[in-house]
C-alpha cells in the first residue's frame, strides 16, 4: 500500500527529472502554483493531505509520464543515483552512423549529460533546436528517449524512417502493416506509414527544460 510520504516523494522526484520545482510542476499541469508546496501536504490540525487523482492525472498528461513511471519513482530510503546519458541534437540525429538498427546510440559523435538513473530502461537524450515542435517542446529542451520502453496509443515518440529522417510524433495506432502518427504541433494532422518505412520508434519518456 502506498503511503502519504511515498506519493509526495514520487511527485517531487518527477519534478526533479524535468528540472522543475514542485511549484513549477504544478504550474505546468495547469494547477495553482502552491498545490504541491510542502506546507499544503499537512493541514493545520495535522491531518495528511493527499494529492487528488485529478491533480495526478493532470501532472501525467503535462509531462507525458505514465502512472507506472510515477509509481516507479518511489524508492523509500534509497538515495538518487546519477548516470551519464548520451546526447545528440535533434537536427543532427538523422546523420549516420549515430544509431544501431534497433535505435541505440552508436559511434563517438555523442555528447553526454548527467541524468538520474532510471533503472532497467536504456535511454538517450535529444536536444531540441529551433521552433519546429513549439509550443510543446522549445529550443533547448532535452528529451529523454527510451528505445526499450513499451509503446502505447497516445505515447509521444521519436521516430526514424528508413531514409534517415528523425522526428517527434504522437503514436495513434500501430498494426502489423502500418503506423499511424499525429503531429505534436497540430492536433488535426495525422499520417500513416508502412511498417517497412520505419527504422525504429522510441518512446519520449521525459522532457527536461
For 23-43, the pLDDT digits (tens) are 999 999 999 989 999 888 888
CA distance 185 to 187: 7
Statement: residue 68 has pLDDT above 80: no
CATH for the 4-72 domain, from 2.60.40.740, 3.40.50.1100, 3.90.1300.10, 1.10.260.40: 1.10.260.40
Q: Where in the chain is the domain with CATH 2.10.109.10?
A: 82-208
pLDDT digits (tens, 9 = 90+) for 140-177: 888 989 888 888 888 899 999 998 888 899 999 999 99
H helices of the chain, where? 4-17, 22-28, 53-63, 67-72
pLDDT of the residue at 82: 53
| Percent of the chain topping pLDDT 90 | 19
User: Which of left, alpha, beta for 96 (phi over 0: left; psi -120 to 50: alpha)?
Assistant: beta
Q: Which fold has domain 82-208?
A: Umud Fragment, subunit A (2.10.109)
Domain with CATH 1.10.260.40 in the chain: 4-72
| pTM for the full predicted model | 0.61
64-73, 98-107, 138-147, range with greatest mean pLDDT: 138-147
Amino acid at each position: 500500500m502506498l503511503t502519504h510520504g511515498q506519493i509526495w516523494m514520487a511527485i517531487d522526484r518527477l519534478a526533479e527529472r524535468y528540472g522543475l520545482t514542485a511549484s513549477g510542476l504544478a504550474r505546468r499541469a495547469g494547477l495553482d502554483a502552491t498545490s504541491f508546496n510542502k506546507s499544503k501536504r499537512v493541514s493545520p490540525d495535522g491531518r495528511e493531505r493527499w494529492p487528488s487523482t485529478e491533480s495526478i492525472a493532470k501532472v501525467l498528461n503535462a509531462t507525458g509520464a505514465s502512472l507506472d513511471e510515477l509509481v516507479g519513482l518511489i524508492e523509500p530510503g534509497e538515495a538518487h543515483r546519477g548516470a551519464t546519458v548520451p546526447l545528440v541534437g535533434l537536427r543532427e540525429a538523422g546523420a549516420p552512423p549515430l544509431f544501431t538498427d534497433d535505435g541505440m546510440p552508436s559511434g563517438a559523435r555523442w555528447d553526454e549529460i548527467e541524468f538520474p538513473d532510471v533503472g532497467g530502461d536504456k535511454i538517450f537524450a535529444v536536444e531540441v533546436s529551433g521552433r519546429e515542435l513549439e509550443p510543446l517542446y522549445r529550443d533547448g529542451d532535452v528529451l529523454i528517449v527510451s528505445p526499450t520502453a513499451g509503446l502505447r496509443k497516445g505515447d509521444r515518440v521519436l521516430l526514424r524512417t528508413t531514409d534517415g529522417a528523425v522526428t517527434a510524433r504522437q503514436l495513434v495506432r500501430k498494426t502489423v502493416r502500418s503506423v499511424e502518427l499525429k503531429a505534436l504541433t497540430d492536433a488535426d494532422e495525422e499520417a500513416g506509414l508502412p511498417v517497412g518505412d520505419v527504422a525504429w520508434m522510441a518512446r519520449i519518456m521525459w522532457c527536461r527544460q
